[in-house]
């Protein structure tokens, strides 16, 4: 694996290189997509893209810290004796759901503050989320984190991973996630073109991703994600997302029926 890349005499984490490449690719796609969303000003798209980046990092890091609290509590004596270990633990991780919610919050706040067409704004940006996520998962694979279960038949052994046992064949779930994200990106573009309903990109994305993430978690092997009643943190978040979407959809249907009656 390649956890770092030597560039100009410095070691740069491969994950962040992949993230920057993903951000650049999403930027290029956004420029192309802007032709179909002429009502959105270029300055608003640029400003929001920067805010989304901040939301991804801040939200992803915050949820990561929350998920690490049990580990910190169990090993508080070790961290008390060596605070640098605590710093290393909290400064080297992101949770995608946290980054996703952070990005959505930034989209909402910006569109609300400047009184923009929120539905069009979300429809424009949401398909780019799985595209960016695909590059992040490739970065995970190259770094050796977020690995899958042990698999002698389909596994790939890491050699320089700092977070997974080296020499053990793990199922490359990161690459499977990357492919699924690219398929989801293509599906959202198809949905937008063929069956577009204004404002439906976000719930469509959340439903598909939550269901997919719940299933994929069964093939993950990094136990640091935490488990409650046999389900990981991301699985519980997926269930919560689906529950909230179901409640919101039910409320919308109830209002519609009352308006027609």
pLDDT of residue 196: 64
Assess contact for 209 and 185: CB atoms under 8 A: no
Write out residues in the chain with pLDDT < 70, as ranges.
Answer: 1, 89-92, 195-197, 223-225, 261
10 Å CB burial of residue 226 (0-12, 13-18, 19+) is middle
Question: Six-digit token pair at 115?
Answer: 């009184």
pLDDT of residue 259: 77
The DSSP secondary structure of 131-146, one letter per residue, reads HHHHHHHHHHHHHT-S
Q: Which residue stretches of the chain are H helix?
A: 14-33, 42-74, 76-81, 83-90, 96-113, 118-125, 128-143, 173-194, 201-216, 233-260
Q: Give the integer Cα–Cα distance in Å for 180 and 14.
A: 21
pLDDT of residue 195: 64
Question: Six-digit token pair at 105?
Answer: 């919050």
pLDDT of residue 213: 95
Assess contact for 143 and 137: CB atoms under 8 A: no
Q: Give the integer Cα–Cα distance in Å for 255 and 261.
A: 10
* Size of the chain in residues: 261
In degrees rounded to 5, what are phi and psi of residue 208? -65, -45
């Amino acid at each position: 694996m390649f956890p770092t890349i030597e560039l100009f005499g410095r070691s740069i984490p491969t994950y962040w290189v992949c993230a920057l490449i993903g951000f650049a690719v999403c930027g290029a796609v956004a420029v192309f997509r802007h032709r179909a969303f002429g009502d959105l000003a270029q300055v608003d798209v640029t400003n929001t893209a920067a805010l989304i980046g901040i939301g991804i990092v801040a939200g992803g890091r915050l949820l990561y810290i929350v998920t690490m609290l049990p580990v910190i509590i169990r090993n508080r004596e070790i961290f008390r004796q060596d605070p640098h270990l605590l710093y290393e633990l909290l400064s080297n991780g992101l949770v995608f759901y946290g980054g996703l919610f952070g990005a959505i919050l930034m989209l909402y706040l910006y569109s609300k503050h400047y009184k923009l067409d929120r539905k069009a704004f979300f429809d424009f940006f949401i398909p780019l989320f799985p595209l960016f996520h695909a590059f992040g998962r490739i970065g995970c694979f190259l770094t050796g984190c977020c690995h899958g279960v042990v698999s002698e038949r389909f596994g790939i052994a890491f050699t320089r991973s700092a977070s997974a046992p080296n020499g053990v064949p793990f199922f490359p779930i990161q690459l499977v996630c990357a492919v699924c994200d690219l398929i989801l990106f293509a599906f959202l573009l198809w949905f937008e073109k063929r069956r577009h309903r204004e404002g439906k990109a976000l719930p469509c994305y959340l439903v598909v991703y939550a269901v997919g993430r719940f299933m994929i978690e069964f093939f993950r092997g990094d136990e640091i994600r935490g488990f409650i009643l046999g389900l990981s943190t991301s699985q519980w978040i997926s269930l919560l997302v689906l529950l909230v979407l179901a409640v919101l959809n039910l409320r919308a249907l109830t209002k519609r029926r009352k308006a027609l009656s």
